[in-house]
Each structure stands twice: as C-alpha cells, then as structure tokens.
Amino acid sequence: MRAELLKLIDAEIAAARAGKPNGIWAKLNALVDPMLIDKLYDASRAG
C-alpha cells in the first residue's frame, strides 16, 4: 500500500510542477510512517 500511495503522491507532485491541476485529499488518522510523511511534505512544497 505504501508503494502505491508514494506513486500517487509523486504523480501529483509532477502535475504541480508542470502547472497542471493537482491536489491531494486524504483522511489519515495517526499517520506515523516517516517516508509517507516526508513525501506529503514534498508535495506540499511543490504546490
């Protein structure tokens, strides 16, 4: 599941950098996976 989520987040990062519509909506209770957290921060910085 982690691999698929990371792939989807990467796709949104690429869309943001290309100026295309993008966004992530997720409800995450007690997110503790450091790799996923870092990737979400990367997405946030990408726009």
pLDDT tens track for 1-47: 999 999 999 999 999 999 999 999 999 999 999 999 999 999 999 98
Q: How far is CA 16 from CA 19, 31, 41, 42, 45, in A?
A: 5, 23, 13, 11, 10
pLDDT computed for residue 7 by the predictor: 98
46 in Cβ contact with 20 (< 8 Å): no
